[in-house]
A and B are shown apart, each in its own frame.
Chain A
Amino acid sequence: MSAVTREKGRGPSGVRRFQLRSAGRWRRRTPRSGTVTMVAGVVFGVVLLLAILGSLITPYGPNAQNLGIGSTGPSAGHLLGTDQLGRDIFSRLIVGARTAVLGPVLIAVATTALSALLGMIAGFVGGRTDGIISRILDVVYALPPLLVAIVIVGVLGGGFALGVLVLIVLSVPAGFRNVRAAALEQRGLPYIESATMLGQTNTRIMMHHVLPNIRPMLVATFFLSFTYGFVDLSTLSFLGLGVAPGTADWGLMAADSRVLVFSNPLALVAPLALIVIAAVSANLVGQGLDARSDTTRSDR
């Protein structure tokens, strides 16, 4: 026998099987996080839908008063009951979605845009430019957002627009820091250097090469500032520093319904629950998108 062919005992019985204990755990984890993102996305989508449709789908007008019945508990006619002026709480909640979402969307859009602009300039150009922008924003970062907002809005006489503006300024530093770090990381990469070698200007490199590559960071910034803006604005409304009195707004409704806590507890609980649900779902969507973009990036 000059050349022996190796025969291995491979049939079904010959193969030894071994499963690492950790394998199952690993496999279960991935779909679960996907499901969470999906559910959060649906919830958040419903909130957005309510904000868009508003009074089109409500059984009663949000400001239609029925002084005759006054404050009532839940009934077939009024799912969540009515407030002291006999306004339908269910309808007011649906309409309130618009003010609830509009402010935070403005905050998130403006914060993300400003963070992206300043963060890229500071991180990519670096040097003295970076120093000046960073130090100024560090000072802003040191201010407690809600407290400062309460003081400024309170002193200047309140108002929705002012509240949004103040919160934008105060939430830029957090987003800026993240974007700056991401842009800084990009600066040393060969494809950025190669764009430099191709004579491209800093502006072009930032718009065409840095910006697309830090997109995941911008998505995360958007949803984070949305959540913070949402909670802060609701707080301002609750304190009477936000929207005009009488507006259908979740924060304001919670404040007004405090007196109904024994007669119709749902009038207090429902707007608070909506604030929590909307904020948490927005946060989870942001986290999910962030995680997804991470895996596609590391999978090269």
Chain B
Amino acid sequence: MNPVTRIDDRSTSAPAELLRVTGLRVANGGSTLVEDIDLVVHEGESVAIVGESGSGKSLTARAIIGLLPEGLVAQGSIRYRQEELLDAGPAARKRVRGSEICLILQDPFTMLHPLIRCGDIVTENLRGSSGKRPTAPERRDEAIRRLAEVGIDDPRVVDRYPFELSGGMRQRVAIAAALAQDPTLLIADEPSTALDATTQKEVLDLLASLQKSRGMALILITHDLRIAFSVCQRVNVFYAGNVLESGPTALVAAAPAHPYTLGLLLAEPPIDRRVREFVSIPGSVPTPDSVVGQCAFADRCAWATEICREDRPRLNLLDGGRSTACRRVDEIADDLAGRRSTFQQSAVAIPRRSDGPLLLEATDLTVTFGKASTATAVLALDRVSIDIRSGESVGVVGESGSGKTTLSRVIAGLAEPTSGSLSIDGLDASSYGRIGRAARARLRKRVQMIFQDPYSSLDPTHTIGYTLSEAIRFRTGTRVGGDEVGALLSRVGLPRSYGARLPVALSGGERQRIGIARAIAVEPQLLILDEPVSALDVSVQAQILTLLREIHDESGIAYLFITHDLAVVRQIADRIFVMNRGRVVESGPTDIVLDSPRDPYTRLLVNADPERIESAAVASA
């Protein structure tokens, strides 16, 4: 009897093992993408795979279902009901795929066939008990029944095309299609990431309830530990192609047994209070190849010693069916718990700054796309009035389509309002196009912007030094020396040598630092931040938030922080405006609005936060 089976006897008594992945390795020629993955799923169990970008979570899912991108090679063992899948031929894999194991992808906007009606998408692969395809009326009834199962009660949806539906509805149709053959195992790859917060919660709730009612096994892939905790019974934490920790949700959530898991938990800012300081993990996520022969997390771990770098640690079983790849877990357990409780108690009051002079005043800003009188016209901003005082930090919160990005672009002078007035520092900014070059330059020196996507906000053909010196020259009007660029780089926490690099050589977090450096080089009075951290890994997000808070405290630049993330806005903004369908529905001090929302929409947003899902689950348990 080998130790592996003994573990199973201990941890699970009733349900049989459905899927066992052992030593999975995925490589692309010379480079390793997934290093060594072990994963077990039992029948009817919901298991989460949590990891940041490059952790190998999606590739693991694709290896299981046999749809690896061309050129990637999987090694190791994937056993489904004791049958080895990696050895199986294409025919055998096809039999398992779809009918036994199904995959739901992230983006609901591209994964449904645009020319097939939703009813046909759902019933496309339906087979009767005899193996024959049901007749058209039967299929239609079945489609209506199955759409109802995923919460679409309107039978007319059967005849609609995907483009006629919202993102959340499409994701539901995709789920219904994936369930058409009643799979035993459903793999959902970030099913809610592309959706708005309120829709996200609905889709996750739906997946959780389907999993329970059908007794189906579920692998949920996500980058958000809180989502994993709220939906799944067990979690596996992936990092750089390795599993660092795995175990029952309750145990992992109560006391993480790996510094990385703790780091992930703490890096996620809380929604219910403002923390004194962010707990970030230094550095960025490595590639599996760069951490061979040592603990993958050692280079970023505060507790790492020599034994962490000797060779790669295997998963060690702890009490209660959980395991960790941390060698020092016994020694540092108290430290980990201590750090967590310090963080949980840390809270600071949100300052009330209402004494500064008025910096920005927008009155009745309206933006209409298309001809105003026609039916196709879209009202992106509907008489929005906001004000920002000097040195203040103001947040704008809303979902996609709320008009928050349009608002930021109007203020930045990248879009023109249809009507309404806007003044910044006493200058008229309601039409950048009409005010002449000198006036425009005066305004631009007062307002700068940080963009969401760190990958496209830097010109790929120019070095970092060139990009930054362009910004400095805009302020000073003279030639720029290397010293100024170097000073700017160290201000945002990067080595001076980065000036000679191209953006390609930088990670996402580093690029966002350059974006920040470029904006503050102009020394503006107002900085517009358009979702500055939402494209970053969780562990890097906290670093950037720390930097943003530091710059705000030191320089007194006023912030206009655009985000969909209530937890993040609580950390940065003193006052917020909540937007919905082009209107400001509620505004006020951040803590008051978030703690006791008055507008029904704000309440909906606040309740949709994953943190709330978790606390609800804990309360009901």
Contact = CB atoms under 8 A, between A and B. Distances in A.
The majority secondary structure among interface residues of chain B is mixed
15 contacts: A5-B317, A7-B3, A7-B4, A16-B84, A18-B75, A26-B71, A27-B71, A189-B456, A191-B459, A194-B451, A195-B459, A197-B413, A197-B414, A198-B471, A212-B459
B71 A198 contact: no
B444 A191 contact: no
B455 A16 contact: no
Interface string A23-34: 100110000000
A190 B22 contact: no
Interface residues of B, number: 57
A213 B461 contact: yes
Interface of B: 2-4, 6-7, 22-23, 29, 38, 68, 70-77, 84, 86-87, 90, 314-319, 323, 412-414, 440-441, 444-445, 447-449, 451-453, 455-462, 470-471, 474, 504, 515, 518, 522
Given A3-B316, A5-B317, A194-B457, 5 more contacts: A6-B323, A18-B75, A190-B453, A197-B449, A209-B462
Contacts of A128: none
Given A27-B29, A300-B455, A197 B448 contact: yes
B73 A23 contact: yes
A22 interface: yes
Given A6-B314, A198-B471, A199-B445, A15 B75 contact: yes
Nearest to B318: A3
7 residue pairs, one from A and one from B, having the closest CB atoms: A212-B461, A190-B457, A190-B451, A18-B86, A26-B71, A191-B459, A198-B474
Contact of A26 (B70, B452, B453): B70
A193 interface: yes
Interface string A231-247: 00000000000000000
Contacts of B22: 8
Contacts of B461: 209, 212-213, 215
B316 A6 contact: yes
Nearest to B432: A196
B327 to A, nearest CB: 11
A17 interface: yes
Interface string A159-201: 0000000000000000000000000000001110111111110
Nearest to B2: A7
B271 to A, nearest CB: 28
A4 B474 CA distance: 64
The listed residue with most B CB atoms (<10 A of its CB), out of A19, A197, A297, is A197
Interface of A: 2-10, 15-23, 26-27, 189-191, 193-200, 208-209, 212-213, 215, 297, 299-300
A191 B76 contact: no
Contacts of A190: 451-453, 456-457
Contacts of A5: 3, 314, 316-317
Contact of A213 (B319, B460, B470): B460
A6 B4 contact: yes
A198 B471 CA distance: 6
Nearest to B504: A300
A16 B87 contact: yes
A183 B76 CA distance: 47
Nearest to B85: A18
Nearest to A7: B3
Contacts of A215: 461
B444 A197 contact: yes
Contacts of B315: 6
Nearest to A214: B461
B73 A19 contact: yes
A151 B457 CA distance: 50
A16 B77 contact: yes
The listed residue with most B CB atoms (<10 A of its CB), out of A6, A17, A27, is A6
Contacts of B518: 194, 198
Nearest to A189: B456
Given A6-B314, A6-B316, A20 B448 contact: no
Contacts of B453: 190
Nearest to A209: B459
Contact of A191 (B74, B457, B504): B457
A193 B518 CA distance: 13
B471 to A, nearest CB: 6
A300 B460 contact: yes
Contact of A198 (B2, B6, B444, B456): B444
Nearest to B409: A193
A21 B93 CA distance: 13
Contacts of B72: 20, 23
Contacts of A7: 2-4
A224 B183 CA distance: 52
Contacts of B515: 194
A193 B414 contact: yes
B63 to A, nearest CB: 10
Given A213-B459, A213-B461, A18 B74 contact: yes
B69 to A, nearest CB: 9
